[in-house]
Every structure is written in C-alpha cells, then in structure tokens.
Amino acid sequence: MIFIVVKFKVKPEFADQWPELVREFTEATRAEPGNLWFDWSRSVDDANEYVLVEAFQDDAAGTHVNSEHFKKAMAEQPQYLQETPRIISRQIDGEDWDQMGEMTVA
C-alpha cells in the first residue's frame, strides 16, 4: 500500500473551519476505488495544524492525484494555509492497520 501522512498548517482564522472546508475533498477521496482510509486529526500541540493520514492500494494513488477533486483541492486549499504542507509518502507492506504488539486491551 501507499501510506501517506501530511501536515497542514492552517491560517488561524480558518483553523476551526478546516474540516468543513475540506469535507467535499475528503468525501470524494474516501469514495475512490483503492482508497483504504483518509483520516484527519487536529494536533493537540498546535490548534492550527491538521494531520492527514491516508492510504491507497498500490496502484490507486496515481488515480487519486489525477482526479478532478484532487486538482480542485490543490487549487483552492493554499489560500487557507500558512505554508506548503509537509508530507511523508511511502510504499509499505500491508493493506490495513495492524494491532500494536506491545499492548493488549482485554
């Protein structure tokens, strides 16, 4: 799978609205064939930072970046951001989350 983590530094005046501002993009991406997950989280250390954790089947990430909703998001989102997002994108083995081996919840 292609595993991607992206950090978005949102302008303070848009930080509370960010989930709604990216809702259409999020829903369209989650509906793509080959999308395994597309999850947003807000940093507990910086209220203006959102972290996107996403994964695609190996051959689906290319389709994603060429989709109309991706192109639209790349054109619209910069106006809400403080800086260019930072990304880690890697191909890794697996197709889902594994259970943490160091901890078991009964």
- Domains of the chain, by residue range, sit at 2-91
- Residue 59 is predicted with a pLDDT of 78
- Residue 58 is predicted with a pLDDT of 84
pLDDT in tens, 42-94: 999 999 999 999 999 987 778 898 999 999 999 999 999 999 999 999 999 99
Q: Right CATH number for 2-91 from 3.90.550.10, 3.30.450.20, 3.30.70.100, 3.40.190.10?
A: 3.30.70.100
pLDDT in tens, 13-26: 999 999 999 999 99
C-alpha closest to that of 25 among 87, 85, 66, 68? 68
- Residue 75 is predicted with a pLDDT of 96
Q: Which residues of 19-40 are buried (b: 16+ CB within 10 A; e: fewer)?
A: eebbeebbebbeebebbbebeb
Q: Which residue has the higher pLDDT, 16 or 106?
A: 16
User: Which phi and psi angles does 73 have, rounded to 5°?
Assistant: -65, -40
